[in-house]
Amino acid sequence: MSEHEPDELGSALRVLAADASVPPTLSGGQIRRRGEARGRRRRALVATAAVVVLGTGAAVGVPWVMDGHKEDRRPVAIDPPSPSSSAPVPGSAPPRIDIRTKVLTLQPAGGKVRSFRLTMRDDVTAGSAKVKYKDPKRKIPALLSAPPDTGYEVEASWVVELSLPSGEVLYLFADDASGSPMNRSVLRVPAADAGWVYDRLNVGDTVTLT
């Protein structure tokens, strides 16, 4: 509200009071004209008071409304996008068996590369094998030189069954120190490491033999 508005309102009130206190010493026409002038001053007074009230309300209300709009304009916080679950984990690599050096190389997601010396024959077929089945303890058929149809079986630990596109099956399992394999489907992992390898190979994984 302007500092002059209270003075204008007070002046108008004082003039109105003064007019009311003056005794009627004029003629009828003069009194009538004086009344009309007084009516005009009253209307002006009412208009002035209305302007003052509206001005005061605007001074108080506008900042409140603007503050409300300011709150509406505040930026909405946006959560950062979650990383894609399909994104590759740095440092991971598919398992690989070097059939020349007889070494299994395995690097789990986010872990370090580890290598294991395998006990296996020299004539293992190269290719991409899929992990078809796994079992912590299982009987493996025809591990030695006996023909497959003899029904010879040996119980093995930490067994991972690998399947080649040709249909050939390889068995990766713990070496129980029972001797060198007599069948090229046998891939023996050091007994101390077989459980670790078993836990990190999952059904559906691809193992490359080169």
The pLDDT tens digits for 50-108 are: 655 555 555 555 444 455 554 455 555 555 555 444 444 445 678 999 999 999 999 88
- Domain count of the fold of the chain: 2
| Span 1-49, pLDDT tens digits | 555 555 665 665 665 565 555 555 556 666 667 667 667 776 766 666 6
Do 49 and 98 fall into the same domain? no
Question: Which residues span the domain enclosing 103?
Answer: 93-209
Residue 80 lies in a domain: no
pLDDT band at 155 (very low <50, low <70, confident <90, very high): confident
User: Is residue 141 assigned to a domain?
Assistant: yes
Please, are residues 174 and 138 in contact by the beta-carbon 8 Å criterion?
no
Task: Tell me the pLDDT tens digit for each residue of 170-206.
Answer: 999 999 877 667 788 899 999 999 999 999 999 999 9
Same domain, 102 and 202: yes
User: Is residue 67 located within the same domain as residue 109?
Assistant: no
Tell me whether residue 171 is in a domain: yes
The string of pLDDT tens digits covering residues 119-148 is 999 999 899 999 999 999 988 875 545 555
Using CA atoms, how far apart are residues 122 and 111, in angstroms rounded to an integer?
30
Residues 112 and 189 in one domain: yes
Nearest one of 11, 7, 1 to 54, comparing CA atoms? 1
Whether residue 163 contacts residue 129, with contact meaning beta carbons closer than 8 Å, is answered with yes
- Whole-model pTM: value is 0.53
Report yes or no on 169 lying in a domain.
yes
Residue 181 and residue 137 in one domain: yes
Residues 40, 108: one domain? no
CA–CA dist 109, 195 (Å, integer): 17
- Indicate whether 156 belongs to any domain: yes
